Chain A
Amino acid sequence: MMFLSLLVFSPLLGIVLLMFVRKTDARMIQWLGTAATVPPLILALFAFIQSGRGFRLERLDEAQDWVRLTDLPFLTDAAYVIRYELGIDGLSLVFIVLTAVLATLAALASMLVKTEKKGYFLWLLALEIGMLGVFAAANFVWFFLFLEVTLVAMFFLVGKWGGFERERAAYSYLLYNGLGSALLLVVIAVLIARTGTANFALLHEMLHNPVAQGQWIAPLTGEGRRWLLGGLLLAFAVKLPAVPLHRWLIRVHVEAPPPVVMLHAGVLLKIAAYGMIRFGVGLFPDEFRAFAGAIAVFGVINVLYGALLALRQRELKRVLAYSSVSHMGVVLIGLGALNEAGIQGAVFQSVAHGLISALSFSLVGVLAHRIGTTDINRLGGLAKAMPLFSGYLLTAALALLGLPGLAGFVGEFTSFLGLFQTKPALAAVGALGLILAAAYSLKAVLDITFGRDRKEAVMGSRPAAGEIEAHRAAVDLRGKEAAPAFILVALIVAVGVYPQLLAAPLAAVVETMMNGLGG
């Protein structure tokens, strides 16, 4: 069965069809581009529902011979064969569903993009293929391949359709993430060279029962493994991003078009979390223990640093950017706890933050489009003219601060629960970040929705030409704009109220990992 290939590559159909659409036909491009994100969504939801009914995901595994690097006589037949392999488990499925949902919503929100829409959708669909592929890949080479597709796609999306300093942001993204990728590639090359395979399952096996392939291939020593894990963690720390490697994230959040940030904050940052869990804990469980303390410390630093800086920002996008830094710290905290609650919390937090940041940026997109600014000093009292919008924005803020009953709470609660079990003092310090989160998110949102009246706010700070008119013309969300926000709020509530939705598919994966960690 080719189910997974179909799932990953189905947006390709949209790319091909888009090639034949005239550049000027914006309506058709928007329609086709959005429609192209639907097939993977349907397939992903189908797989999700089926697995909930007890369908075994391993049955979806695909493998095809791709390349045989060498056939030296002293090697076994399977050594140095890299295959095209896709395969998913509960963990990847959760992220694939997240990707598919956010891709469709981002495509919907892209109606606010006006320039060169055709190229924009081509790259957006390419980005989706890359993201889906990353989670569906069952071997390291293909994981890397799809990861780099997202790198190139993001470079174009940020550099061409971004804000004023878009090219700088695009280069920043390219270089930081390129360095992360290069480091990852070295780790992958060492793993392939020393074990002869890139397949996750086989690697897992080989790392536990190393097989000597002859004198030409050196085995992996304990020290070598620690270096590999260190490289892996550093590579993903850049992509997560962990402070102090976070500068690129701020630029991308501020400069990229909002629908792209929905995907960037919603999915791309989670690839790092996924990588740390799948490869860090999954492949090197014993060595991971040595790093767990440091990871937790970095997590706490991320949480506090991000929250403190978010508190100081007067630009909504920057508030959200630093809040992303802070929230990704919670993922690190969960991982650093290295127990069942912690790992589960890391995944929960990843998904929750994906949904919440997507919601925030879909609203930011509308705001930027209507008023032309996201500067909090220039906004205020929007609740009167845009009540629906303000309601959604408030919901986003509440989700961001981790209100119980919403998705963010589950992620933060379980992550911190995990850390309190192993390192209570550290966890207590980190928990301060949650209080700060309430402060910055409510402060920013209440300033925008209530605060001073908008005319007064603008008058008080020397309005730019046309700004008052823009405020006056501010109309509430239209149906098409409200749809992504509505769906996201529904999902956030669903996960918050019924966490089992996520916990069920994850249970088996987390259990396997805990077994790997020795209980």
Chain B
Amino acid sequence: MNDVWQSDWGMMAPEWIVLAAAIVLLAIDLALPSDRSRRPLAWGAAASAVLAMIATAAMIPAEPASILHDTFRLDAFAKAFKLILLAGGALALLLVAEWAPKEGSPHRGEFAYMMLFALLGAMMTASSGDLLALFVSIELLSVSSYILAGLRKTAPSSNEAALKYVINGGIATAIMLFGMSYVFGLTGTTNLGDIARRLQESNETYMLALAFLLLLIGVSFKLATVPFHMWAPDVYEGAPVPATAFFAVVSKTAGFVLLLRLLVTVFAAAPSEGREPSSLLLSMQPVITILAGLTMIIGSVVALRQRSLKRLLAYSSIAHAGYLLAGFAAMSWAMIDSLWMYLLVYTLMNIGAFAIIAHIVNETGSDDLDGLAGLYRHRPLLAAALGLFLLSLAGIPGTAGFIAKLYIFIGLVVTEPGHYVLAAVMAITTVISYVYYFNLIVQLFFRPTFTAPLRRLPAGLSTAVVLCALGTLAIGWAPGLAYDVLAQFGHFGDFLP
């Protein structure tokens, strides 16, 4: 017990900051009279996320270390992905500050601190070195997310979203836990490093393969990849826009963190059957490849038919999960690097798009595509910014989205044999995605207006939009900015425990 108290708690500084902020904000929300605006709470929460980001950045040069019997690891992987999670969280909180649903909501203080709790869960996932810690942290994220989805208490669609999310998430959790129990049963330990070491001598290939599939299914729910993506459009549509942005960005990043932490550390070490012994992870590559291909195809094809902006973005985020999964399926040396890059870029362009769409949905009260019509005429800068995010989502050069996509492409073809089919699917679905992204652009710039002019963008949203637009452009034209940060992590050489 003693060594617990002698642990180097300083390495949890970012988590402490977020946790403390959440508790303080909770207390303030309870103490504040009910008629006072809760907007400053969201600003405070965003500030705490920024502070945690600074703390994380300050720890980049530190050697990898772990506390609590290897339960909490601070390696390059944890730092790198925490930076993205915190950036996404801070930006989503800026959206929360300006949230004004049409049915009115007197109690929205909880939005800010529930999001911080969810963020905390995501951060812990990045640092977990233990099955139990992974499970608990991903559940902290999930449970907080269920609440976030249902925050429009009087709106039926929001209630429906929360319910769907709880049920689907619950099933995913159960399946994942089932898979974890197999892993535990085969190795007798919950520590990821120990599991990896013990599995090296294991010959329970079929049991392990079953465990792998169960875990993959569980994670697929979190990632919203095919075939477990059905919940995403309904939840995205019903939930308040800032929560949707959070799910699309932070939850998705956390899902990929989980995917890498869980599947790579555990199964890369386990041997597989066959004439040429390789790792179980590599022998599962075809499964992941097929899932990635299907996710890209279904996500982008179904997106073509959407009229609702939020559903459109939901399917677009499914398609993007497919691209990310393709990067994972490649299993090249660029795997973690390219996923990090893509998630960073995805965070920027997606939150930027959500911020503007949140404003339009707030103002017009509808989230139909037509709501964008003629935005260019009365808000040219806003339309230009949204155009930029859409181009980036489509992966047009000159924006960050292109750089991220190029990196995944290179990862796909650098190995022998290259994943040419997957690369081709990615190329074709990208062109399909042109149709729906450019559909929005056509609405923005070509169509006449038939809505009243929008009000100016409130401070929180405009901050988010400006930051995201600058990031999208900067990484698009000077990708070195992001690659230099990435280089600090030394290709995640200390990733495997």
* Contacts of A151-189 to chain B: CB distance below 8 A: 151-152, 155-156, 159-160, 167, 171, 174-175, 178-179, 182-183, 185-186, 189
In the assembled complex, which residues on chain B have CB atoms less than 8 Å from the CB atom of A217? Answer: 414
Known: A67-B483, A159-B442. A186 touches B413 (CB 8 A): yes
In the assembled complex, which residues on chain A have CB atoms less than 8 Å from the CB atom of B397? Answer: 144-145, 148-149
Known: A145-B397, A155-B438, A190-B418. A182 touches B431 (CB 8 A): yes
Q: Is A209 an interface residue (CB 8 A)?
A: no
Q: Do B413 and A175 touch across chains, with their CB atoms under 8 A apart?
A: no
In the assembled complex, which residues on chain B have CB atoms less than 8 Å from the CB atom of A194? Answer: 413-414
Q: Is A68 an interface residue (CB 8 A)?
A: yes
In the assembled complex, which residues on chain A have CB atoms less than 8 Å from the CB atom of B430? Answer: 178, 182
In the assembled complex, which residues on chain B have CB atoms less than 8 Å from the CB atom of A174? Answer: 434-435, 438
Taking a contact as CB atoms closer than 8 A, the residue among A65, A141, A149, A152 that contacts B406 in the complex is A141
Q: Is B334 an interface residue (CB 8 A)?
A: yes
Q: Do A70 and B398 touch across chains, with their CB atoms under 8 A apart?
A: no
Question: How far, in angstroms, from A332 to B427 measured CA to CA in the complex?
Answer: 26
Q: Do B414 and A193 touch across chains, with their CB atoms under 8 A apart?
A: yes
Q: Is A444 an interface residue (CB 8 A)?
A: no
In the assembled complex, which residues on chain A have CB atoms less than 8 Å from the CB atom of B332? Answer: 216
Q: Is A20 an interface residue (CB 8 A)?
A: no
Q: Is A511 an interface residue (CB 8 A)?
A: no
Known: A65-B480, A190-B413, A218-B416. A159 touches B446 (CB 8 A): yes
Q: Is B206 an interface residue (CB 8 A)?
A: no
Known: A167-B442, A186-B424, A193-B414. A69 touches B407 (CB 8 A): yes
Taking a contact as CB atoms closer than 8 A, the residue among A70, A179, A189, A218 that contacts B431 in the complex is A179
Q: Is B51 an interface residue (CB 8 A)?
A: no
Q: Do B487 and A175 touch across chains, with their CB atoms under 8 A apart?
A: no
CB distance from A235 to the nearest CB of B (A): 10
Q: Do A167 and B410 touch across chains, with their CB atoms under 8 A apart?
A: no
In the assembled complex, which residues on chain B have CB atoms less than 8 Å from the CB atom of A192? Answer: 410
Interface string of B325-344 (1 = CB under 8 A from A): 00000001110010000000
Interface of A is mostly: helix
Taking a contact as CB atoms closer than 8 A, the residue among B333, B402, B407 that contacts A216 in the complex is B333
In the assembled complex, which residues on chain A have CB atoms less than 8 Å from the CB atom of B391? Answer: 152
In the assembled complex, which residues on chain B have CB atoms less than 8 Å from the CB atom of A175? Answer: 431, 434-435
CB distance from A70 to the nearest CB of B (A): 7
Q: Is A290 an interface residue (CB 8 A)?
A: no
Taking a contact as CB atoms closer than 8 A, the residue among A144, A160, A167, A182 that contacts B427 in the complex is A182
In the assembled complex, which residues on chain B have CB atoms less than 8 Å from the CB atom of A456? Answer: none
Q: Is A72 an interface residue (CB 8 A)?
A: yes
Question: How far, in angstroms, from A171 to B407 measured CA to CA in the complex?
Answer: 27
Question: How far, in angstroms, from A329 to B407 measured CA to CA in the complex?
Answer: 36
Q: Is B409 an interface residue (CB 8 A)?
A: yes
Question: How far, in angstroms, from A512 to B403 measured CA to CA in the complex?
Answer: 33
In the assembled complex, which residues on chain A have CB atoms less than 8 Å from the CB atom of B413? Answer: 186, 189-190, 193-194
In the assembled complex, which residues on chain A have CB atoms less than 8 Å from the CB atom of B478? Answer: 66-67
In the assembled complex, which residues on chain A have CB atoms less than 8 Å from the CB atom of B438? Answer: 155, 171, 174
Interface size on B, residues (CB 8 A): 41
Question: How far, in angstroms, from A185 to B435 measured CA to CA in the complex?
Answer: 18
Question: How far, in angstroms, from A70 to B410 measured CA to CA in the complex?
Answer: 11
Question: How far, in angstroms, from A152 to B394 measured CA to CA in the complex?
Answer: 11
In the assembled complex, which residues on chain A have CB atoms less than 8 Å from the CB atom of B407? Answer: 69
Q: Do B398 and A148 touch across chains, with their CB atoms under 8 A apart?
A: yes
Question: How far, in angstroms, from A71 to B480 measured CA to CA in the complex?
Answer: 13
In the assembled complex, which residues on chain B have CB atoms less than 8 Å from the CB atom of A216? Answer: 332-333, 414
In the assembled complex, which residues on chain A have CB atoms less than 8 Å from the CB atom of B446? Answer: 159-160, 167
Q: Do B434 and A178 touch across chains, with their CB atoms under 8 A apart?
A: yes
In the assembled complex, which residues on chain B have CB atoms less than 8 Å from the CB atom of A156? Answer: 445
Least CB separation from B433: chain A residue: A178
Q: Is B479 an interface residue (CB 8 A)?
A: yes
* Contacts of A47-61 to chain B: CB distance below 8 A: none
In the assembled complex, which residues on chain B have CB atoms less than 8 Å from the CB atom of A148? Answer: 396-398, 402
Q: Which of A69, A179, A190 has the most CB of B within 10 A?
A: A69
In the assembled complex, which residues on chain B have CB atoms less than 8 Å from the CB atom of A65? Answer: 480
Q: Which of B398, B434, B479, B480 has the most CB of A within 10 A?
A: B434
Q: Do A218 and B480 touch across chains, with their CB atoms under 8 A apart?
A: no
In the assembled complex, which residues on chain B have CB atoms less than 8 Å from the CB atom of A171? Answer: 435, 438
Interface string of A63-88 (1 = CB under 8 A from B): 00111111110000000000000000
Q: Do B428 and A182 touch across chains, with their CB atoms under 8 A apart?
A: yes
Taking a contact as CB atoms closer than 8 A, the residue among B403, B410, B431, B434 that contacts A193 in the complex is B410
Interface size on A, residues (CB 8 A): 37
Q: Do B491 and A145 touch across chains, with their CB atoms under 8 A apart?
A: no
* Contacts of B400-447 to chain A: CB distance below 8 A: 402-403, 406-407, 409-418, 420, 423-424, 427-428, 430-431, 434-435, 438, 442, 445-446
Q: Do B479 and A66 touch across chains, with their CB atoms under 8 A apart?
A: yes
Q: Do A218 and B415 touch across chains, with their CB atoms under 8 A apart?
A: yes
* Contacts of B471-497 to chain A: CB distance below 8 A: 478-480, 483, 487, 491
Question: How far, in angstroms, from A178 to B334 measured CA to CA in the complex?
Answer: 26
Known: A66-B480, A171-B438, A182-B431. A189 touches B491 (CB 8 A): no
Q: Do A67 and B480 touch across chains, with their CB atoms under 8 A apart?
A: yes
Question: How far, in angstroms, from A148 to B394 measured CA to CA in the complex?
Answer: 12
Q: Do A70 and B406 touch across chains, with their CB atoms under 8 A apart?
A: no
Q: Which of A68, A72, A193 has the most CB of B within 10 A?
A: A193
Question: How far, in angstroms, from A65 to B478 measured CA to CA in the complex?
Answer: 10
Taking a contact as CB atoms closer than 8 A, the residue among B409, B417, B435 that contacts A189 in the complex is B409
In the assembled complex, which residues on chain B have CB atoms less than 8 Å from the CB atom of A72? Answer: 333, 491
Question: How far, in angstroms, from A155 to B390 measured CA to CA in the complex?
Answer: 14
Q: Do A178 and B491 touch across chains, with their CB atoms under 8 A apart?
A: no
Least CB separation from B482: chain A residue: A67
Known: A145-B397, A152-B391, A218-B414. A68 touches B480 (CB 8 A): yes
Least CB separation from B407: chain A residue: A69
Question: How far, in angstroms, from A190 to B487 measured CA to CA in the complex?
Answer: 23
In the assembled complex, which residues on chain A have CB atoms less than 8 Å from the CB atom of B409? Answer: 185-186, 189
Q: Do A189 and B406 touch across chains, with their CB atoms under 8 A apart?
A: yes
Question: How far, in angstroms, from A152 to B333 measured CA to CA in the complex?
Answer: 33
Question: How far, in angstroms, from A185 to B334 measured CA to CA in the complex?
Answer: 18
Q: Do B398 and A149 touch across chains, with their CB atoms under 8 A apart?
A: yes
Q: Do A185 and B406 touch across chains, with their CB atoms under 8 A apart?
A: yes
CB distance from B487 to the nearest CB of A (A): 6
Q: Which of A144, A148, A171 has the most CB of B within 10 A?
A: A148
Q: Do B412 and A189 touch across chains, with their CB atoms under 8 A apart?
A: yes
Q: Do B427 and A183 touch across chains, with their CB atoms under 8 A apart?
A: yes
Q: Do B333 and A68 touch across chains, with their CB atoms under 8 A apart?
A: no
Q: Do B414 and A67 touch across chains, with their CB atoms under 8 A apart?
A: no
Question: How far, in angstroms, from A174 to B439 measured CA to CA in the complex?
Answer: 12
CB distance from A195 to the nearest CB of B (A): 11
Least CB separation from A156: chain B residue: B445
Least CB separation from B430: chain A residue: A182
In the assembled complex, which residues on chain B have CB atoms less than 8 Å from the CB atom of A179? Answer: 428, 431
Question: How far, in angstroms, from A443 to B297 measured CA to CA in the complex?
Answer: 49
Question: How far, in angstroms, from A159 to B431 measured CA to CA in the complex?
Answer: 18
Question: How far, in angstroms, from A364 to B411 measured CA to CA in the complex?
Answer: 48
Interface string of B25-48 (1 = CB under 8 A from A): 000000000000000000000000
Q: Do B410 and A189 touch across chains, with their CB atoms under 8 A apart?
A: yes
Question: How far, in angstroms, from A179 to B427 measured CA to CA in the complex?
Answer: 8
A-B contact pairs, 24 of them (CB 8 A): A67-B478, A68-B483, A70-B337, A70-B491, A71-B487, A148-B396, A160-B446, A167-B446, A171-B438, A175-B431, A182-B431, A185-B406, A185-B409, A185-B427, A186-B409, A186-B424, A189-B406, A190-B418, A193-B410, A193-B413, A193-B414, A193-B418, A218-B415, A218-B416
Additional 13 contacts, C-beta under 8 A, given A141-B406, A178-B434 = A66-B478, A66-B479, A67-B480, A72-B333, A167-B446, A178-B430, A182-B431, A185-B406, A190-B413, A193-B418, A218-B414, A218-B416, A218-B418
Q: Which 7 A/B pairs are nearest by Cβ-Cβ distance?
A: A218-B416, A182-B427, A193-B414, A189-B409, A145-B397, A67-B479, A178-B431
Listed in ascending order, the chain A residues whose CB lies under 8 Å from chain B are: 65-72, 141, 144-145, 148-149, 151-152, 155-156, 159-160, 167, 171, 174-175, 178-179, 182-183, 185-186, 189-190, 192-194, 216-218
